[in-house]
Chain A
Amino acid sequence: MTQAISTVENLTSLSDQTLQVPHVIAGKFDENYSKVFPSATGTSFTTPELDFDGMVLPRGQLSPAYDLPLSEIIDFLVATGERLSPETNHWLAEAIEATTHANPLPRYVIENIYRDMAFFFRRDVLEFEVEHALGIGFSDDWKEVVDPTGRSVRVRAFPSRLVQILAGNSPGVTAMSITRGALSKSVSVLKLPGNDLFTASAVLRTMADLDPNHPVLKSFSAVYWRGGDTDVENILYRPQYFDKIVVWGGEQAVRNVVKYLGPGMQMVSFDPKVSMSAIGREAHENPETLEEVVGLAATDVQLLNQEACASSRFQFVEGTPEQIDHYCERLCAALQVDRHLGSAKAPPPPPEVVEEVEALRFFEPIYRTWGATDGSGLVLRSPEPVTFHPTGKVVNVIPVGNIAEAIAFANPATQTVGVWPPARKTEIRDGLCAAGVQRVVALGASDLMMPGLPHDGFIPLHRFVNWVADEG
């Protein structure tokens, strides 16, 4: 703890000038800072020059973890996870400190996310993902199966070469990207996002403290370049170097990767998404139930201060006009609470949202608003969904006769739909999924993206490997 505090002080004094972002090249740390980048938040940062050759494993070589049994990889990840406590791990304490400069989330939420990272390194969580994504026996050896013609065939989940373009709205993305990269035994270049420059190297430093030459650590590079920089991407994004580009949305990031796709180069895309809620009339039964429901609904809205794909933005609510207005009022109050992954006070919505909300105040009672556009939470009731993108703790409540009406407003952009009461998920899940929805959850449970379960319509780890066969 003492050590953590002194390091944090050093970093704080440094932050007045320029933040230093180390690069990791195949498990080795590079701190020869020479390039300076301006930052959107006003604090500039510096990085080493990109070591292109160091990031690319020649095609003639197997990945460092190829021969390592999955059980040993899991042991190493578990040991890493046990050390991922900000209270005792000074790398994490530093990363938290630095992240507060680059990420608009309040400090306590960033700390909570860092504490939550250890979850992804739990043995049962890692084993669950392997079992559901890769199956047993395909990773450590060539698994023998007999095909319908009677031939003996050997199939393997072969390590691949990945560029992983990380999203920075939650450091949890980095944790999942590292565990998946490790479980697939692949080599990964983690492309750091401008809003999370420190998590990856903090986790990799923790690994290095355990074993600086561990094959899993040597499988990772973590570097920054400005997303979309053709001088970098034109060189790197080639099939002779990489099999797949794993990209977390932003829309721009996904579109940008599309330019480099072609035979031999695949994209695994965690698309930018919108999420919503569907709330049955049972919510109005009594004041206690209503309070419970608005608490769950607010939890889904406030997820990462509404900066996540799973954050609820639209809520389709059954009930009489009076009941729905009362729901809106209580929801607005519930938004003003500090929660585990979202704060009472958040960055305000962008001007186009503020302006439209201000204009709609003149249209009562057709439209009605509760709360303020200052980031403390605003509920806007409208006869059909608004066409702007609700963000900055702005929720759009749409009254419906039946939650099934929400299906008409779902489409392939819709990721998660939170439903209350949970039993009524079965009424609408088929219709929602036909419309393009990928995930239906009990209200209040949007936040947990369990590794091993489907994400955006696919099982991620399954696509992190190259499925190869030795036939006959």
Chain B
Amino acid sequence: MSTIAECGTKSLETVRNYINTEDPYLFGGEKIEAEQLEAIRELFALRRSQIRILGQRAATVGIEHIQSLDDLVPLLFADQTYKSYPETFVKNNQWAMMNRWLDTLSSAEISDIDVSDIKSTDGWITRMTEHGHHIVVSSGTSGKNSFLNRTSSDIAVSCASVVQNVALTQGITAGARDRPVILIGPSEGPYVFVTLMRALAESFARPGQAYWLSDVAITEADTQRQGELRRKANDGTATPGELREIEDTARARQSEMQKAMGVLADALIRHKDEPVMVVGLWAPHFMLVEEARSRGMRDGELHPQSTIFTGGGSKGAKLPDDFKQQIETFYGVEPSRYYGNYGMVEMLTGFIECSAHRYHCPPWVKLLVLDQEGENLLKPENGHVEGRMAFLDLAVEGRWGGVITADKVTVDYNPCSCGRSSPSLTSIVRYADLPEGDDKLSCAGTMSSYIRGEIAS
């Protein structure tokens, strides 16, 4: 594998070096943009031979070199690219085929990793991790998982930057280890959010005061059985008894989870009179809040200088419509005590939310605003532009970091009242949530809605 350093790509290194500055979000303007364009040229030259899907795309659209940013647009991946594998590979445990697929999207060779004994997605991810391919799994709205390859150094950059950003926006000190940290998730596992939580615990938790949601031990055999049952449920061949088994298992896990959540809520209550940090996805936050309430902790009792770190959607969890409001009422801290950032798995580093409520872009992410179709680059007028958000994350090593998102954003290139010069997002909305969304009606259906039996439920 050729790393960026080996290739001696000077501008790329210059841009990536901003990661080591105290507040990378200060930087913006023409000088940075010129450096970024040069870095983009270097990165494309490097990756097009490594990443076959990128090479194929470049050949199809006939782009040999990046002259201007317009050349980059057809080389950006759709967010579907990272879930473009046939689901039958997963269903049939064809993990060698999944290796081949991941290989077409990765900077480094992975086809030769032995996966002949792998019997589940978790098993595959673990095996990949053992070989330095940290697979980020993300389940989108379609229910099909995305798999993105990250190298160990990608993981390190991602962890370092989240720690740095939390310190920067919360006015606390990275590495100080001066507060209790409540981590509403497992402490072990191949998943990236776990790695991120470990980095936060390591940097901010007082020794002995990192409280994790204790793990429910799940054997590989359990995982395989559940995988098998889910497969049958998805293709419609599960018997009613098997569907019952899935639900019973889920219920049993839920109840064990509840017990573990109680232990965590007790820790929160013990430390409520000092600044704590509470880290988790939205759904676990809600479970913690409910558990703490049931143990007598009242709304607004948490120390006002606490930090709340949230993330993820609420998909798949049964939550009331006002769950965010309930969480916010319970914690009772100022909005600024929530770590605000705009990010996605396709990016190593999030955009931080500043005091002026804008989301700032770091110098190693090239922000691009396209038309709704995602085909043409839009030019800012008076420093403002609105359209489909796309970007190239120049820091990513494991794969091609160029992605077109599903978000409609407004970008302000003018310096922000918070004192930062980096381009910033002043509004973000998903295209799917806009009122002019689809009201077309057609009789064509898809198999899955029937198989899952949802149409009549």
Contact = CB atoms under 8 A, between A and B. Distances in A.
A194 B436 CA distance: 11
A108 B338 CA distance: 57
Contact of B455 (A248, A271, A355): A271
Interface string B25-57: 000000000000000000000000000110010
Given A40-B436, A356-B85, A193 B449 contact: no
A413 B97 CA distance: 29
A313 to B, nearest CB: 9
A307 interface: yes
A38 B435 contact: yes
A336 interface: no
B91 to A, nearest CB: 8
Contacts of B53: 358-359
Contacts of A253: 441
A362 B98 CA distance: 12
Interface in B421-457: 435-447, 449-451, 454-456
Interface residues of A, number: 56
Given A258-B456, A271-B455, A362-B101, A389 B446 contact: yes
A386 B443 CA distance: 21
Contact of B86 (A226, A311, A387): A387
Interface string B87-114: 1100100000100110010000000000
Contacts of A384: 88
A169 B86 contact: no
A359 B444 contact: no
Contacts of B144: 387
Given A39-B436, A351-B80, A167 B442 contact: yes
B68 interface: no
A37 to B, nearest CB: 8
Contact of A358 (B84, B236, B440, B451): B84
Given A251-B455, A271-B455, A358-B53, A194 B440 contact: yes
Interface in A340-354: 351-352, 354
A274 B80 CA distance: 23
Contacts of A359: 53, 81, 84-86, 101, 104
A363 interface: yes
Interface in A194-240: 194-195, 226-227
Most chain A CB within a 10 A radius of its CB, from B56, B78, B91, B449: B449
A249 B442 contact: yes
B325 interface: no
A166 interface: yes
B21 interface: no
Contacts of A358: 53, 56, 84
A38 B436 contact: yes
A168 interface: yes
B88 A250 contact: no
Most chain A CB within a 10 A radius of its CB, from B97, B447, B455: B447
Nearest to A228: B439
A35 interface: no
B142 interface: yes
A340 B83 CA distance: 36
Contacts of B456: 258
Contacts of A386: 86, 88
A368 to B, nearest CB: 13
Interface in A162-186: 165-169, 173
Given A255-B455, A362-B100, A411-B451, A355 B442 contact: no
Contact of A309 (B81, B91, B436, B445): B445
A166 B439 CA distance: 12
A167 B101 contact: no
B104 A362 contact: yes
B441 A193 contact: yes
Contact of B446 (A272, A355, A360): A272
A412 interface: yes
Contacts of A362: 52, 100-101, 104
Nearest to B436: A38
Nearest to B372: A42
Nearest to B78: A351
B97 A363 contact: yes
Most chain A CB within a 10 A radius of its CB, from B78, B104, B144, B440: B440
Contacts of A254: 455
Given A363-B97, A384-B88, A413 B441 contact: no
25 contacts: A40-B437, A169-B440, A169-B441, A169-B442, A193-B439, A194-B439, A195-B440, A227-B441, A250-B443, A250-B445, A253-B441, A272-B443, A272-B444, A273-B443, A273-B445, A308-B444, A352-B78, A356-B80, A359-B86, A363-B100, A387-B88, A387-B144, A389-B446, A411-B236, A413-B451
Given A194-B441, A411-B447, A413-B447, 20 more contacts: A38-B435, A169-B442, A169-B444, A194-B440, A227-B441, A249-B445, A251-B446, A255-B454, A270-B443, A271-B445, A272-B449, A274-B445, A307-B444, A311-B444, A362-B52, A362-B100, A382-B86, A386-B88, A387-B91, A389-B447
